[in-house]
Amino acid sequence: MAASLRAIREAALDGRMHNILTRRTQLETLQQTLLDKADAIQDAICADTGHAAPEAAVEYLLTLNTLKEYHQTLNVDRALQDEYAIARGKDATSRRDPVGIVYIVPTSYTVFYSVLVAVAGALTAGNCIVIELPNSLQALPVLIKKLLASSLDRSTIAFVPTPATDEDLGPQHMRLHQDDHLPGKVVAVVDRTANVNNAAEALVSARFNFGGRSPYAPDLVFVNEYIKESFLMALVQASVSFPRSASAIHEDKGRPEKDQEERGGLRVVSSLGRGEIVEADRLDPKALPDTPTGSPLLVHTVRSLDHAIDLSNLIGNLRGAYVFAHEKSAKYLTQFINADVLFVNHIPVEVLVGPSAPKQVALDRSMRYPTTIFSVPRPHYITPTQLSQSVTDILRTKSTSALRRTLALQSSELVVSPTQRPLGGGVGFFEQGILTGLGLFSISMLAGVSALGYWTWNMV
């Protein structure tokens, strides 16, 4: 076992990062280092990824903001209250302990943000950290290693060029593989009640920014047939108006224009601007690309909200969904589309940067990794509950009659009054249809009765 990993195991066993003041100091030092090296960081991001300067600036600023939010969660007063809760005769129900060692295998997408966010989350939870960074000629791996080594305690962070075994890390560790993309696609639904221009700009930006590699970039867009033509025009306009990154320009060299080209049931609406926009005549979930890199923005027409819901759920395993519609229509769509996370009338840029969120936690728009995934619950209790006292009294009861009285008393406290269901209110989607039908029927009946009355009057 490498000497660096031996030092990490010893630091984890000693609980060197358990002290909340130490964790705060480490985060402050790391943040100051990132502020001092702002230009070098953004230059390295642009050099390694080919991203445009604004995209590199966004990745850098999101990293700083995430470190700030992690730092704000380290409340010294609350930590002291939890530590001395038992001494004060109170329960410490929310107490958690760090896992020990967090082993990080970085993703290749927005690697700077992804590594720094994972490091900050693991550090905030009180862990030591091991990062698997293979030897590379790229600028970012070298820079990340230099920044972390100069900012954090050398005994709490280590780097390995090859995978470490479980024996190297010890029994108290967890592995975070950022490139283990969750199965599933990302869809968007644009209803006839949506703001077409806003939806088009948001979807083009989400699909083609950052090289089109975000795990939350939309794979397929369902648009209502009544607004399809105007929406496609808005997509083309948005694609052309967005500035292109160096990587996108490099990929397009030698590629002929394919505007309005037909191929395999797909119609290329535009290949100008940021990327390719394709209209699909039929939906084949198996034909959707597994990796987002270089994928076009697929558009498929739907007839109604229910049609969009059925097609979305037909794909299955949706990692995310974006809904552009009026609030009432959006409520209906989000209620029945089965996706891990849904956004209505906007696509947060911070979600597009970084790896997929862990499956076991809800996606947080600010912190991709909640500290709870790097810790284990360790609640402490000192005060018995009322229920515990009641069942203890039952166990101690010797007399049968006393036992019956105790059970009757406890059972009477469990009886509750039946829940009163509220009366239905408001006019929903189906109620509107019923009222419309009744109105048309009433109008026709009224017209018939009026005509009959008028004819009878004339006859008389």
When pLDDT is cut at 50, 70 and 90, the band that residue 253 belongs to is very low
Are β-strands 186-190 and 220-224 bridged in parallel, bridged antiparallel, or unpaired? parallel
Which residues of 342-446 form beta strands (DSSP E)?
A: 342-344, 375-377
Give the rounded distance of the alpha carbon of 39 from its chain centre. 29
CB atoms < 10 A from the CB of 439, how many? 10
Average pLDDT of the residues of the chain: 83
What's residue 291's pLDDT? Answer: 52
Round to whole Å and give the CA distance between 199 and 205: 10
Domain ranges of the chain: 1-178+369-377, 185-246+262-351
Residues 6+ apart with CB under 8 A from 337: 187, 189, 308, 309, 312, 313, 318, 321, 323
**pLDDT tens per residue, range 257-304:** 444 445 555 676 666 556 778 887 777 665 565 555 557 888 999 999
Q: Is the pLDDT of residue 380 over 80?
A: yes
**Helix orientation angle between 111-124 and 139-151, rounded to the nearest 10 degrees:** 20
Residue with tokens 């203890």: 392
What's residue 280's pLDDT? Answer: 79
Mean predicted confidence (pLDDT) in 197-206: 92
Same fold, 1-178+369-377 and 185-246+262-351: no
The torsion of the CA quartet 448, 451, 457, 460, rounded to 10 degrees, works out to: -80
Contact 266, 186 (CB under 8 A): no
Q: Is the pLDDT of residue 93 over 90?
A: no
Give the rounded distance of the alpha carbon of 285 from its chain centre. 22
Give the rounded distance of the alpha carbon of 405 from its chain centre. 54
Round to whole Å and give the CA distance between 188 and 85: 48
pTM above 0.85, yes or no: no
When pLDDT is cut at 50, 70 and 90, the band that residue 245 belongs to is low
Mean predicted confidence (pLDDT) in 20-36: 93
| Class of domain 185-246+262-351 as given by CATH | alpha beta
DSSP string, 237-271: HHHHHSPPPHHHHHHTTTPPP-TTEEETTEEEEE-
Q: Is the pLDDT of residue 256 over 90?
A: no
**pLDDT tens per residue, range 148-183:** 999 998 889 999 988 888 888 888 889 999 876 566
Q: Is the dihedral of CA 253, 256, 262, 264 positive or negative?
A: negative
CATH 3.40.605.10 describes domain 1-178+369-377? yes
| Rounded (5°) CA angle 191-196-202 | 100
Round to whole Å and give the CA distance between 11 and 27: 18
Residues 6+ apart with CB under 8 A from 146: none
Percent above pLDDT 70 for the chain:
84
